[in-house]
Structure 1
Amino acid sequence: MIEQECLAFAAASANEVCGLVIDGEYLMRCSNAHPEPERHFRISDDDWLKAEAAGKITAVFHSHPINKLVLSGADRQAQIATGIDWWLASGGRLRKFRPVPHLLGRSFEHGVTDCYTLFRDAYHLCGINLPDFERSAGWWVRGENLYLKNMASSGFSEVPAANIQPGDVIIRRAFPESDPCHAMIWLGDNMVLHHEQAGRLSRREPYRQAYVKLTHSIWRHEQCSNLNLQGIFDDISARSL
């Protein structure tokens, strides 16, 4: 099984190992051409050409010798450049990452790159995969309550505002009369990550008093102990460079 081969390859070296997944079922092991292989990896042009001749490259694989099962900032920049899945082995586990856009600076398009897309992608980078759900513009004024209907079924439970912790999701209204329709991820130190409509880019900013007044509820995922926010912070650092 290819996943087991990836883990065995990673366990065999104290450096970062790397490879290319061909047609989703075959791992082509590559030499790490980076001058600092204990902390970074690089796949040579020759290995890329060999892989392309063997079939379709469907994923890049590499390992982290330290126990860090999220993509680094450099990994995220390179993943976005390749536009394909990246597989990462660390600590005896393997995780597969979709090539989602950087979390900061996204343009808003409802149902495509909106507040739920950002929330879902951020959790994906942190190691928790959430389902997508159908949503059409204006659901927040039609009484459809999509967030409240989907949070519990996606593994979230409501927690008191006084107990908020990094990674929790704040659900708020867009205006006092609307249904709860906007999600923000609490990053700690009074900072949130979110993506509003009205032509504004996705951003990290303080949890302003205006947001507090519109807050409906706070939610925490059942796997919160596995939520590694470093995946978010590394992506933000990469986007800021």
Structure 2
Amino acid sequence: MQECIDYAASSQDEVCGLIIDGVTLFKCRNAHEEPDSNFRITDEDWLAAEGQGEVTAIFHSHPINSPVLSGTDRVYQLASGLPWWLACNGDLYKFNPVPHLLGRKFEHGVTDCYTLFKDAYHLSGINLPEFERVDGWWLRDENLYIKNMEANGFYQVIANEAAPGDVIIRKPFLGADPCHAMILLDNNMVLHHDCSGHLSRREPYRLAFIKQTHSIWRHRECSSLNLAGIYADISVKSH
């Protein structure tokens, strides 16, 4: 929506507003004490917006070069339960209120390793599709990961060229398809969520994982993958 981008360009502070019925920007006053780096919408503005229709998203801008939600943004986004639209550098980004990346309980097809991978990429600026998967697919030669990686913009890279943001596909079970995805982060850490009973977590890319690695994949739009979105979200759950 060009109006959001133009509104952001009108101020050196963060601007904010509410999206009505998915299409209309209701401009709000930024009532935060530090408007250059934060925003707050007053109850009065919120009530006025609700008088014009359903509030379907929250909008704000980042005057600095940061086209992802900050850790603080993520806390308030999840409290709101709404998509957040962000204007930065003349572009408009839309972020769904996906759960925090760390601390998720595993539920296949709902919050599993693909969900974590997809949501982390979403917070970093690349949107991936959902696809149907029935528990045990890795035992039926369905090979969902390998079949879907290239189809959704990924290409394979060799291990010694792996870089943060790449997706590591593991084969943790003998006689089964590769069925577990991890995102490589800085300092040889990985973000992942497996069915071992642990919550989604960040941990070292240790020898056992390396031995189980089947392949490593990079998105064709990796230059637009902004890992600051992942790190900002992780920072909230790490303190």
User: Same fold per TM (> 0.5)?
Assistant: yes
3-state SS of the aligned residue for 1:71?
coil
Partner of 2:63: 65
Q: CA RMSD in A?
A: 0.7
Partner of 1:32: 30
- For residues 142-153 of structure 1, what are the structure 2 equivalents within 5 Å? 142-153=140-151
Q: Which amino acid aligns with 2:20?
A: I
The runs of 4+ residues in structure 1 deviating greater than 2 Å are none
Partner of 2:51: 53
Tell me if the contact between 1:103 and 1:202 (Cα under 8 Å) persists in the aligned partners. yes
**1:58 CA displacement:** 0.3
Tell me which of 173, 183, 186 is aligned to 1:185: 183
Cα distance in 2 for residues equivalent to 1:123 and 1:71: 13
Partner of 2:104: 106
Partner of 1:93: 91
Partner of 2:72: 74
3-state SS of the aligned residue for 1:21?
strand
Cα offsets for 1:78-130 (capped at 9, x unmatched): 00000010000000000000110000000111001000000000000000000
**1:175 CA displacement:** 1.8
- TM-score w.r.t. the length of structure 1 is 0.98
Tell me if the contact between 1:176 and 1:214 (Cα under 8 Å) persists in the aligned partners. no
**1:176 CA displacement:** 2.8
Partner of 1:216: 214
Cα distance in 1 for residues equivalent to 2:141 and 2:175: 11
Cα distance in 2 for residues equivalent to 1:188 and 1:79: 26
Structure 1, unmatched stretches of 5+, are none
**1:52 CA displacement:** 1.7
**1:51 CA displacement:** 1.4
Cα offsets for 1:168-221 (capped at 9, x unmatched): 000001223221000000002110000001322100001111111110000000
**1:54 CA displacement:** 1.7
Q: Which amino acid aligns with 1:41?
A: F
Partner of 2:81: 83
Q: Which amino acid aligns with 1:172?
A: R
Q: Which amino acid aligns with 1:19?
A: G
3-state SS of the aligned residue for 2:168?
strand
3-state SS of the aligned residue for 2:36?
coil
**1:49 CA displacement:** 1.2
Structure 2, unmatched stretches of 5+, are none
Tell me which of 153, 161, 166 is aligned to 1:155: 153
Q: Which amino acid aligns with 1:92?
A: G
- TM-score w.r.t. the length of structure 2 is 0.98
Q: Which amino acid aligns with 1:146?
A: L
**1:50 CA displacement:** 1.2
Percent identity over the alignment is 65
**1:152 CA displacement:** 0.2
**1:167 CA displacement:** 0.0
**Number of residue pairs the alignment of both structures matches:** 239
Q: Which amino acid aligns with 1:111?
A: G
**1:240 CA displacement:** 2.4
Confirm whether residue 231 of structure 1 aligns to residue 229 of structure 2.
yes
